[in-house]
Amino acid sequence: MPFKSLLTAMLMALIFAGCGGDVTEEEPGDLGSGSGSPATSSNLASGLITSVAGNNLGYFAYDADYFIPLYTAQDASDDTFISLVNTDGSLSVTLSRALGRPDTLCRYLPAILARDEGFEIGNAGFKTNQQQIELYRTEANLGTDYRRYYCAEISLQSGVIVTALTSDPDQLEAGPFYSLLNSILAY
């Protein structure tokens, strides 16, 4: 059994050490509000962040005039809370359950993309939203494929990952996208 643990630790160290080149860690700070354009409407829809057992842990809200839901959780134990696309189809956002430390998953996904697909890893770091929830942000891109990940611990070892995909990096600065990130709240 100790051999298995040692092997697992070595593999994880190799994945994180050799998968994506240099990552620029930003100073912790406020998340901000993006470019503010377009403005977020007052037509907000909301959803719940739940634990594996289905307990309500938190809340999020999104601009229903800017985002169209493609998928909504059918019950509290569903691992994907919601999948959204903006009205012109240029930005896709998914909120899903994340387990463990908030930064682990957000570090791992870009590392795998870099190793397996040749993505470049951009800036990373902890940012605090308007609800005082600490989000770990990472980004990866390959040509016109831009991805950004935000992970937050909402309750002990349980939280949310927000995955955003676009071909236009300006979409990742849109006011309604930042409004969604800033709405994430723990109960």
User: What separation in angstroms does the CA of 31 have from each of 12, 16, 73, 125, 177?
Assistant: 29, 25, 26, 10, 12
Domain parsing of the chain, residue ranges: 2-186
Q: Which residue has the higher pLDDT, 114 or 20?
A: 114
Give the residues across from 25 on adjacent strands: 124
Indicate whether 9 pLDDT > 60: no
**Higher-scoring residue by pLDDT: 163, 22:** 163
* pLDDT recorded at residue 53: 87
Q: Which CATH architecture best describes the domain 2-186?
A: 3-Layer(aba) Sandwich (3.40)
Per-residue pLDDT tens for 72-109? 999 888 899 999 999 999 999 999 999 988 789 999 99
pLDDT, mean of residues 17-41: 77
CA dihedral 85, 184, 140, 101 (to 10 degrees): -140
Average per-residue pLDDT in the chain? Answer: 87
Residue with tokens 């040749």: 118
CA gyration radius, the chain: 17
Per-residue pLDDT at 26: 80
Cβ contacts of 88 within 8 Å, gap of 6 or more: none
Element (H, E) at 133: none
Residue 3's Cβ-side half-sphere holds a number of Cα atoms within 13 Å equal to 0
